[in-house]
Amino acid sequence: DTAVSQTPKYLVTQMGNDKSIKCEQNLGHDTMYWYKQDSKKFLKIMFSYNNKELIINETVPNRFSPKSPDKAHLNLHINSLELGDSAVYFCASSRINTIYFGEGSWLTVV
């Protein structure tokens, strides 16, 4: 069974559209995250949620809105997509010393 699963794996969309990426973890972890990996391959944290509460928001544009309906889910909604949003988005969850990442969602904005 996949520990951290995210959908869709690939997404191609036009500028200006609104899209969502879903994430689910079956590890029973309280903390979930969204990371972004850009074209230069640098991984950066976007958001961190603990028990459905926002803990970290790394100066991400307001167009990005995470939603955590319960501890096992953290979805990422993006409004008015821009070309620069093209990247790989990784969902993750953790206990204290280990973070488990999903396989990534490849977003391409055209």
Q: What are the residues binding another protein (CB under 8 A)?
A: 4, 31, 33, 41-45, 48, 50, 55-56, 90, 92, 94-104
* Residue 1 or 14 with smaller CB distance to another protein: 1
Give 73: exposed, middle or buried? Use CB within 10 Å, 0-12, 13-18, 19+: middle
Q: Contact, 28 vs 39, CB < 8 A?
A: no
* Residue 14 or 97 with smaller CB distance to another protein: 97
Q: How far is the CB of 11 from another protein (least distance, A)?
A: 15
Q: How far is the CB of 67 from another protein (least distance, A)?
A: 18
Q: Contact, 101 vs 92, CB < 8 A?
A: yes
Please state, in angstroms and rounded to a whole number, the distance separating the CA atoms of residues 12 and 96: 35
Q: How far is the CB of 1 from another protein (least distance, A)?
A: 16
Q: How far is the CB of 62 from another protein (least distance, A)?
A: 21
* Residue 14 or 53 with smaller CB distance to another protein: 53
Distance of CA 30 to the CA centre of its chain: 16
* Residue 11 or 92 with smaller CB distance to another protein: 92
